Amino acid sequence: MTGKASGTGLKTALRAGLAARQRGDRQAAERIFREILGTHPGQPDALNLLGVLMAECGRPEDAVDLLTAAAAARPQSDTIPLNLAQALLAANRAGEAASILHALSAAQKPDIRVQHLLAGTLLADRRPREAAAIARRALKSRPHDPELLTLLGDALVQSDRPADALPHYEAAIAAMPTNASIYNNLGTALEKLGRLTEAAAAFEQALRRAPHHTGARTNLGTVRLRLGEADAADAEFDRVLNREPHNQRAIAYRFIARQEAGAMRPEEARAHLAPLIHEEFLSCPDSFRSLTDFNATLAAELYAHPARRQDVSGTATTGGFDALRLFDHNAPALNAFEGRLRSALDRHIAGLHHEAGHPFLGRQARAWTLDVWATFLKSGGYQFPHIHPSGWISGVYYVQVPAAVSSASADQEGWIEFNRPDESFDYTFQPEVLLKQPRAGLLLLFPSYAYHRTIPFESGTDRISIAFDVKPAR
């Protein structure tokens, strides 16, 4: 049945599913909604509620499929597109989410929920000027709206204008002085300006209002570290990890703090990471003559990918471009690569030895999702040291490697280097690094908290790699 929900039995079942979700029994709620869809295929309420549930369970792509079907079954709804936009945002598909929200904004009277979500979505899509324009326009009718003021501040920070953001954060705090997140964002702007003592005070204000705000506590730890207070920073990161044991930022930063405090030697940090980096060559898919043929076809598909973009501002890449959501596009080599990659990840995860309390091996995942993108580096291009905060296992597959990179080179042009933290932490120790030489067909897997960078290289050929994050489903 499609169309409006009708029938006492259907309404009773929907209420039962809602009740199970509200009491936190997600498995029961999912079972009920799927049973409804088994007897009422395409029922929009069940599709919508199951989609929202999948988003809450950390399965955003499943949520997108369900909510897309719900929106098609009930095109007059305003609520379902909002839910779909939020699921797309969670699936790192901010551009598609923004398109839906723009359409909603144009089709109805200005709805403040839509304006809030649209500005935030544009920020997630690295479009701060557009986000600022949306916020400024909405502020004309709601000049004291704290969320709009905060979003405008966030847009200015993302546009490298942290000083201009400060008055908007201060106005937002005046309108909502109990909101911890505004103080946290204010602290971030102050830190970017190098006003570290003031930034620490802002993060402390956030924590007075929300002691379990792990973002503010992690940020406070980074400022303590930059102020030369490594022991205090270590304590803040420990507090974060006591609450969120798999917080990748806190894990990575704690390694820096402990080395800076002298509680860990740099060679110990290197020894921790070395056995956790996995290397293997993927076998050639059956439909290709050779691995060389496969990689050449894969490279051509990546250059032609519809999600390729030239603007990589706000990412770790300098001197290159990228392509997002690779597996959304149907192409022979990409499809074959996805199968090989998922098989390799299944084997790797199954072979991990669980070790309680370990920052990497202490985590287990019965189900997981993948974020996958391609990076194209041109001559002189590189990636600065970074981690992948939203992942558990991260990795890279090398599709095309210039001769300058694949040949033995004393300066390791284009190699990937692990264990050198971002210099913005102002650490004084000398890190012990690990270097890996890219070769076409090589797959590297490593903990998402591991700092890594790409060394610049000179070549007339692009260096093409496919990067990915494995994210355990909640």
Tens digits of per-residue pLDDT, 410-466? 789 999 999 999 999 999 999 999 999 999 999 999 999 999 999 999 999 999 999
> 408 in helix, strand or coil?
coil
**Do 98 and 127 form a contact (C-beta atoms < 8 A)?**
yes
Write out the residue range of the structural domain in which residue 384 sits: 274-472
pLDDT (0 to 100) of residue 4:
42
**How many C-alpha atoms does 129 have within 13 Å on its Cβ side?**
1
Q: Is pLDDT at 107 greater than 80 in this prediction?
A: no
- Say whether both 183 and 51 belong to one domain: yes
Pairing mode of beta strands 393-400, 442-447: antiparallel
Name residue 268's amino acid.
E
Q: What is the mean pLDDT of residues 208-235?
A: 98
Q: Is there a domain that residue 3 lies in? A: no
- Say whether both 52 and 112 belong to one domain: yes
Q: Is pLDDT at 264 greater than 60 in this prediction?
A: yes
Residue that terminates a domain, selected from 266, 289, 316: 266
pLDDT (0 to 100) of residue 315:
86
Q: Is there a domain that residue 2 lies in? A: no
- Say whether both 364 and 230 belong to one domain: no
- Residue 163 belongs to domain with CATH number: 1.25.40.10
- Say whether both 251 and 280 belong to one domain: no
Q: Is there a domain that residue 1 lies in? A: no
Please tell me the distance from the alpha carbon of residue 376 to that of residue 417, in angstroms, as a whole number.
Answer: 17
Q: Is pLDDT at 1 greater than 50 in this prediction?
A: no
pLDDT (0 to 100) of residue 110:
66
pLDDT (0 to 100) of residue 206:
98
Please tell me the distance from the alpha carbon of residue 460 to that of residue 363, in angstroms, as a whole number.
Answer: 42
- Say whether both 292 and 400 belong to one domain: yes
**Do 35 and 13 form a contact (C-beta atoms < 8 A)?**
yes
Tens digits of per-residue pLDDT, 325-341? 899 899 999 999 999 99
Q: What is the mean pLDDT of residues 388-392?
A: 96
Nearest residue to 382 (alpha-carbon basis) of 317, 441, 337, 431:
317
- Say whether both 320 and 351 belong to one domain: yes
pLDDT (0 to 100) of residue 451:
98
- Say whether both 383 and 346 belong to one domain: yes
- Say whether both 253 and 285 belong to one domain: no
Residue that terminates a domain, selected from 266, 299, 323: 266
Residue that terminates a domain, selected from 213, 244, 266: 266
Q: Is pLDDT at 72 greater than 80 in this prediction?
A: yes
- Say whether both 117 and 187 belong to one domain: yes
- Say whether both 90 and 156 belong to one domain: yes
pLDDT (0 to 100) of residue 431:
98
Q: What is the DSSP string of 203-258?
A: HHHHHHH-TT-HHHHHHHHHHHHHTT-HHHHHHHHHHHHHH-TT-HHHHHHHHHHH
Q: Is there a domain that residue 17 lies in? A: yes
Q: Is pLDDT at 90 greater than 80 in this prediction?
A: yes
Q: What is the DSSP string of 156-207?
A: HHHTT-HHHHHHHHHHHHHH-TT-HHHHHHHHHHHHHTT-HHHHHHHHHHHH
pLDDT (0 to 100) of residue 444:
98
Q: What is the mean pLDDT of residues 17-26?
A: 95
Percent of the chain with pLDDT over 70: 97
The number of distinct structural domains making up the chain is: 2
pLDDT (0 to 100) of residue 8:
74
Instruction: Return mean pLDDT, the chain.
Output: 94
Q: Which residues contact 262 (CB under 8 A, 6 or more apart)?
A: none
- Say whether both 185 and 323 belong to one domain: no
Pairing mode of beta strands 368-386, 463-472: antiparallel
pLDDT band at 312 (very low <50, low <70, confident <90, very high): confident
pLDDT band at 314 (very low <50, low <70, confident <90, very high): confident
Q: Is pLDDT at 225 greater than 70 in this prediction?
A: yes
- Say whether both 246 and 140 belong to one domain: yes
End-to-end CA separation in angstroms for the chain: 31
Q: How far is CA 180 from CA 169, 172, 187, 198, 333, in A?
A: 12, 11, 11, 16, 47
- The phi, psi pair for 463, rounded to 5°, reads -95, 115
Tens digits of per-residue pLDDT, 290-306? 999 999 999 999 999 99
- Residue 323 belongs to domain with CATH number: 2.60.120.620
